[in-house]
Structure 1
Amino acid sequence: MFDRRRSRPTCARPMGLPVSAPLLLILMNAEGRAASAHPDWSEAVVEPVDRAVTAVSDGLLTRLDRIAAAGGDLDLVRSTLAAAGWSPMQLLAAIAAVVAAGLAADRGTAYALGRAGGRGSWIARCGLPAAAALGAGLAVAAVVSGEAEAARRTLRTWALVVPLAGLAASLIRAAIVEKSAAPRCKRLVPLARGLSTAVAWAFAGIALLRTLALWEAGSGLRDLVGTALVAVPTAGLIAGAYARAGRPLAAALAGPRPRSGGRRVLARCWPAIAVAVVAVTILASQVATTLGRPLPPLAILVTLVLVLIWPHLDRRIAAWAERGFRVETVSAAAVAARRTARMALAAVIGAALAALWGAPAALGLGIRLDTLARTMAEIAAVALATAYLWNGIGVATGRVLAEERGARDSGGDEAEEAPRTRLGTILPLLAGAAKAGLAALAVLSVLLALGINVWPLVTGLSVFGLALGFGSQSLVKDVVSGLFFLADDAFRLGEYIETAGAKGSVEKISIRSVSLRHPRGALATIPYGQIGKVQNYSRDWVIEKLAFRVAFDTDVETVRRLFKQIGKDLEADPELRPDLLEPFKSQGIAAVEDGTLVIRGKFKARAGRQFGIRRAVLAAVQRAFHDNGIVAVAHPTLMPGARSMAGGQGLH
């Protein structure tokens, strides 16, 4: 049989290669080019992680070897002490004498100041005991140190422990515990005591590490002491203090009501945040030690103290600023400075942390410190100036609105419904616009400080704003109409107005719309471009007219005299006289309906204040009619059948 497969022409190809070999070669070349163009995932991620893990594991093994040789390091310390003519017990006794002298001087000075009535500033009350402790410690150190330089430097180091611990304890107590007798403040005393104990333990541990270094102790012994006797106990003391003071601490940090949402969340989460900060700091120090780059213990302690006391100091400054806001003798500029002090505190703490950690990191990366410091100083100056102006606008606006609100509240039950002044209406909008301008100017200033050319950005935003204006004509119409309405003083917050589409009290004024609250509760939001005609019922004055139906034989002159006497009585009322512009008087017979007389009276009052006067007039008329035998006639009502019959008769 004929085989068609053999009749087909075939191309020659090398032996051992399949038909798809050229395609495979093309794919391999493409992968090679892609690999050369883009680094492999293993080279970009896996290998750096593997190198880091290898470095940590090698460093950990080396560290364990050093710690295992701590016994030899201790023998080296003993030999160094013996060479200097000291024994371990003599050195311990000298250190104990220096610390005891410092403690005695500190407590004695504090007791003397307490007996003297505690007069003087906080700095004097804290600085004098610290200075006395330092002087006593240095004096004892000079007496017992001898000729060895290492002994003198060791005892001088320990002479600093008591004054530094005392200053830190005073700072912690002043930041956490207020002088007020509030129970929530007194419940924070254990927290302050626990943190002070932890800081004192840390200072003693740092002095111990310094002592080991002065007497030529090896890195293994210092590593063991620093980890087991300094880092871990300090972290445990801080964590225990925060764990025991969770609920009182949250209540204290939240501050008085009303509380912002962010403040409540921070207060509730701060104990956990503080413990996490301590844990991360200790972990970072241990990792750095494992990698052979140990962090300075004093910098670690200062960092922890600054971070942990920051929310307490911020709360104290916030309360201080709020007290100044409520006191009229404190100027708005001073209150704004107090509020700006919160940001200044954050800036100072940030600068301290940057100096402790950012400066070494910048040097390691080759960044010039003078350029970095100048840039950060410019940014901080812009931020503080913006914050001061922002707070100044807020304080001035808040005081004006608070004064206006107080004036309305002092007017009685109806004062809450009184409209705001023109300034009280426009001021929030002006304050919002000024704050937005400040924020934009601050952002541009920060970009300029960073060396970024902002003019292309400004030009682009201008073009975008122009395009937005052409594309949103209705929005532009609303904004422009609103500016003219506010310039014409057509309405204010709290006034009752009627527009083409709705009526009610002005409850909110924004940049493009006004919100009206109907007397039944419905809220209508109307863009300025759709308002049309505005009828304002709360401006300047109103004339209130009242109608009374009396019997046909009523003496109209008697009613006129009664109305006139009622008007005089209302004018003599001290509560109604300020709002009554024209007294209540009779307008005579207005109509004769169904055999009854309709007599009208009127009075003129301030807009929005007529309702109380109206109630007083109606009550006085009711009493006068009753006392003089004048019969008021109800408006006649027809039954449905009678109404239809009357209508049928009218047709005929």
Structure 2
Amino acid sequence: MAENTSDAGLTFLAAGLQQFAERFIEGLHVRYLAWLAAPAEFETFRASFAQVSTSGFAMASQILLIVAIVAVPLVVGGRRIRIGTGTAWSRLLLSAMVAVIALAIGFVAARLLASQGLPVQTLQLWVTSTVAGWVVLIALHWLLLQQQPPEARLRRSRLTKFVRDLSLAILWAVAGLSLVASLRLWGAGAGMIDLWGTVVVTLPTLLLSTGAIWRHRRTLAGTVAGPRPRAFWRGSFARCWPAIVIGFILFIVVNAQVARTMGVALPGGAVAMTALIVIATPHLDAMIWDWAQRGLNSPNISTAAAAWRQTARFTVLIAVIASLGALWAAPLAVGFGIDLRHVALDAFKVALIGMFTAFCWNLIGTSIERVSRADRIAAAAGSTMTSSRLGTLVPLFGSIGKSLIVVFAFLSILVTVGVNVWPLITGLSFFGLAISFGTQALVKDVVSGMFFLIDDAFRYGEYIETTGAKGTVEKISLRSVSLRGSRGPIATVPYGQMGKVQNFSRDWVIDKIALRVSMDTDVELVRKIFKKIGEQISADPELNQNLLEPFKSQGSTEVEDGTLIVKAKFMAKPGTQFLIRKAAMKAILQAFRENGIRAVPKPFTGEVDPNA
């Protein structure tokens, strides 16, 4: 039975492929015959000019003149826009004004050059296409060049060459499409239009665009990759992006030619907009990412504004999905009888929830990044307690806040699309209650950790000792703390198992040095030696910056096993006492040798075996 089904499927597939091949071959034959009829159609096309009392040469001259008239304000305005120092919104407004002025001048000139009928419509068509081509070039220039930082001169030089080569392909395509539209307007034959559209427009545009992309593939990949540091997936995607663009262009061209050959009409506007959206989106995303990173690093931009810059990437993603849905999904939904207004309203609500969620997420992330940066700067210049504590607590609370935001957003989306979430919440409540009874140790760890953090028992980078482990705090999670030992191993200690916490990195540390000397040692001489050593340490800029109280003698306070014990101490910043102690011990040993003071080892007090 299964073999019969498989054979039937293969037979159906083979029949479909054969039918497709027959239609394709038949379409090629029809197109070939139409191309052979193009010379005769051209003679008919030339005769159509006589019906409106003009000639092809006169019409071509008027087209060149109208393009030149429109190009003058566009070139002047484009130069002003490129060298301007205004904001992006002011440049956008200036570009719109230049386009409107050029359109107005072009339409007036078209009415002056031609009276009415097809000549006026043809000139107006070329005016519109000229302005549209200028708008595309300005958008390309702004997308690839305008947002580059001034210090990236080499990249800007390479991008300028790429934009120049790609602009040639765009201008050729705009001029070719305008020519094909003019042929249709004057009633040219289908064979002539197909021949000009394929040979004069499609193939040269394909060669120019793919050649420019392949020639500048590294430059194109660099614009998509964005500034460093970047994620691994983004770098890999950027390296593949030129090949993806070329493949996408080839797919569109081949698909359009196959559809034309088989007599299937493609929505040209939808295909062109889809190609524009797909190709421009990664570049726009990289540009917004760079813009957002500059806002994050700038102290002159508020946290909310920096978070909004981060959210702009998500906004662009929503706009892209909405545009593609409107181009392709909307006609399909209408065909199935789906109410688009209801779907669009729900989609709009979901998009608003997503944008608000993304903004809150980025607001928390931006706050964490700025607090962490301020904490690192404060640590380099002498950290204060408040900044360091914020640097410890904010990342942990930020993770909790992000988790809550995602949960609330998920429930809000379910409510928006008409799902009753109360049974889900009730079920999760009972499930959470069952988990809490079964994982009491986990609850104990979490609650204990909250109180440890509230009490400010330890922070990132501090050296602590607790039950069974000691080391530098490297990670603080919701359940445990990770300590890096002096030899490298990491110990993960749950909060519930931590008893007393001894912090060796808080505020200050006192280091004491005890030495054994003979009973006849001059204690006053030792005191003077320690005082001199303290002055030497205080005079050393490298050591003095970490010294809180000078190195000084504590005198001789006890006698042990026939030896005199002399002591000294100093107060330093936590973690820096070892360097000061090393310098002090070196100076003490040298001074003792110079002054004839002999250090005495600790006497051996054990019993000796007489038979040994």
Does residue 122 (structure 1) correspond to residue 91 (structure 2)? The answer is: yes
Cα separation, 1, equivalents of 2:537 and 2:42: 100
Work out the CA distance in 2 between the residues paired with 1:60 and 1:375: 46
Following superposition, the deviation at residue 179 of structure 1 comes to 5.8
Query: How far apart, in 2, do the equivalents of 1:337 and 1:435 lie?
Result: 16
Matches of 1:459 and 1:218, distance apart in 2:
70
User: 1:28 matched to which residue of 2?
Assistant: none
Q: Distance in 2 between matches of 1:347 and 1:169?
A: 25
* Structure 2 contact 78–138 (Cα < 8 Å) conserved: no
Asked if 1:304 corresponds to 2:275, the answer is yes
Match of 2:144 in 1: 176
* Alpha-carbon distance between aligned partners in 2 of 1:57 and 1:557, rounded to the nearest angstrom: 114
The one-character-per-residue Cα deviations of 1:230-288 (angstroms, maximum 9, x if unpaired) are 33332322211110012233234333332211221121111111112212222333344
1:143 matches 2:104: no
Q: Which residue of 2 aligns with 1:528?
A: 495
In 1: Cα distance, 2:475 partner to 2:505 partner: 16
Corresponding residue of 2:608: 647
Task: Give the Cα–Cα distance (whole angstroms) in 2 for the partners of residues 537 and 335 of structure 1.
Answer: 37
Q: Counterpart of 1:383?
A: 354
> 1:398, CA displacement in angstroms?
0.6
- One-letter amino acid of the structure 2 residue matched with residue 247 of structure 1: R
Between the aligned partners of 2:434 and 2:252, the Cα distance in structure 1 is 52
- The correspondence for 1:599, drawn from 560, 566, 569, is 566
Partner of 2:254: 283
- What's the counterpart of residue 54 of structure 1? 19
CA 1:384/1:580 → structure 2, altered by over 3 Å: closer, same or farther? Answer: same
Structure 2 residue 65 is the aligned partner of structure 1 residue 97: yes
Flag the 1:227–1:596 CA change in 2: closer, same or farther, 3 A.
Answer: same
Distance in 2, Cα, partners of 1:529 & 1:238 = 64
Deviates more, 1:507-516 or 1:70-79: 70-79
Q: Is the 8 A contact 1:336 1:388 kept in 2?
A: yes
Residue in structure 2 matched with residue 421 of structure 1 by the alignment: 388
The RMSD of aligned alpha carbons is 3.7
Opposite residue 114 of structure 2, the aligned amino acid is S
Q: Distance in 1 between matches of 2:129 and 2:313?
A: 31
CA contact (8 A) 2:411 2:421 kept: yes
> More deviation in 376-385 or 220-229?
220-229
Deviations 1:450-486 (A, max 9, x none): 3333334333433433343344444344333333332
Q: How does 1:557-636 map to 2 (within 5 A)?
A: 557-563=524-530, 580=547, 582-593=549-560, 595-615=562-582, 617-618=584-585, 621-622=588-589, 625=592, 629=595, 631-635=597-601
Call closer, same or farther: CA 1:397–1:419 in 2, change over 3 Å: same
SS at match of 1:515: strand
Structure 2 residue ranges without an equivalent (≥5):
none
Q: TM-score, normalised by structure 2?
A: 0.86
| Residue identity matched to 1:91 | M
1:238–1:615: structure 2 CA closer, same or farther, 3 Å change rule? same
Residue in structure 2 matched with residue 439 of structure 1 by the alignment: 406
| Cα offset, 1:621, TM superposition | 4.0
Displacement after TM superposition at 1:331 (Å): 0.9
Q: Is the 8 A contact 1:239 1:275 kept in 2?
A: yes
Determine which of 54, 58, 65 is the counterpart of 2:30.
65
What displacement does 1:107 show? 3.3
**In structure 2, what is the equivalent of residue 249 of structure 1?**
220
CA separation of 1:176 and 1:45: change in aligned 2, threshold 3 A: farther
Query: In structure 2, which of residues 478, 482, 485 is the aligned counterpart of residue 515 of structure 1?
Result: 482
Displacement after TM superposition at 1:540 (Å): 3.7
Contact 1:584 1:603 in 2 (8 A): yes
Kindly indicate whether the alpha-carbon contact (under 8 Å) linking 1:419 and 1:494 is maintained by their aligned counterparts in 2.
no
> Which residue, out of 511, 523, 539, partners 2:506?
539
- Residue in structure 2 matched with residue 209 of structure 1 by the alignment: 180
1:196 aligns with 2:167: yes
Q: Which residue is equivalent to 1:548? A: 515
Matched residue SS, 2:448: helix
Q: Does the 8 Å CA contact 1:206/1:297 hold for their aligned counterparts?
A: no
Counterpart check, 1:156 vs 2:124: yes
Q: For 1:282-431, list aligned pairs within 5 A.
A: 282-290=253-261, 292-411=263-382, 421-431=388-398
From the superposition, tell whether residues 282 and 477 of structure 1 become closer, same or farther in structure 2 (CA, over 3 Å): farther
- 1:479–1:512 Cα contact (<8 Å) kept: yes
Helix, strand or coil at the partner of 1:545: strand
Name the amino acid aligned to 1:263. Answer: R
Partners of 2:331 and 2:105 in 1: CA distance: 36
What CA distance in whole angstroms lies between the structure 1 residues aligned with 2:121 and 2:17? 39
Q: Distance in 2 between matches of 1:290 and 1:42?
A: 31
- Deviation per CA, 1:591-611: give whole Å up to 9, x if none: 445653221223344443433
Equivalent residues of 2:307, 2:359 under 8 A apart: yes
The DSSP-based 3-state class of the residue aligned with 1:226 is helix
Letter of the 1:378 partner, please give it: K
- For the residues of structure 2 that align with 1:196 and 1:496, how far apart are their CA atoms? 61
Contact 1:550 1:630 in 2 (8 A): no
Once the two structures are overlaid, the 10-residue window that deviates more, 540-549 or 476-485, is 476-485
Paired amino acid for 1:139: V
> Which stretch has the larger CA shift, 123-132 or 213-222?
123-132
The amino acid that maps onto 2:60 is L
- 444-453 or 241-250, which moves further after superposition? 444-453
Letter in 1 for 2:211: G
Query: Kindly tell me: are residues 571 and 66 of structure 1, through their superposed partners in 2, closer, same or farther at Cα, counting changes over 3 Å?
Result: closer
Counterparts in 2 of 1:529 and 1:85: CA distance versus 1, 3 Å: same
Alpha-carbon distance in structure 1 between the residues aligned to 2:550 and 2:458: 28
CA distance in 1, matches of 2:333, 2:205: 29
SS at match of 1:69: helix
Q: Secondary structure at the match of 2:478?
A: coil
Contact 2:66 2:123 in 1 (8 A): yes
Distance 1:49 1:366 in 2: 33
Decide whether the 8 Å contact of 1:499 with 1:531 is kept in 2.
Answer: yes
Q: Is the 8 A contact 1:130 1:162 kept in 2?
A: no
* 2-structure distance, mates of 1:455, 1:45: 50
Q: Name the amino acid aligned to 1:236.
A: L
Q: For 1:421, what is the secondary structure of its paired residue?
A: helix
When structure 1 is superposed on structure 2, of 312-321 and 69-78 the one drifting more is 69-78
CA distance in 1, matches of 2:412, 2:13: 39
1:272 pairs with one of 231, 236, 243 = 243
Residue identity opposite 2:136 in structure 1: A
Point out the more displaced range, 152-161 or 576-585: 576-585
How far 1:636 moved relative to its partner?
5.9
1:637, distance to aligned residue in structure 2 (A): 8.4
The answer to whether the 8 Å contact 2:31/2:261 transfers is: no
> Separation in 1 of the partners of 2:343 and 2:10?
30
* Identity across the alignment (%): 42
Residues 588 and 106 (structure 1), Cα distance of their counterparts in 2 relative to 1, 3 Å cut? closer
* Pairwise CA distance, 1:220: 4.4
Amino acid at match of 2:578: F
Aligned partners of 2:392 and 2:459 also within 8 Å: yes
Q: Distance in 1 between matches of 2:122 and 2:17?
A: 38
Alignment equivalent of 1:233, drawn from 201, 204, 220: 204
User: Which sits farther off after the overlay, 61-70 or 569-578?
Assistant: 569-578
**CA-to-aligned-CA distance 1:3-24 (integer Å, 9 cap, x gap):** xxxxxxxxxxxxxxxxxxxxxx
Task: Tell me the SS of whatever aligns to 1:514.
Answer: strand
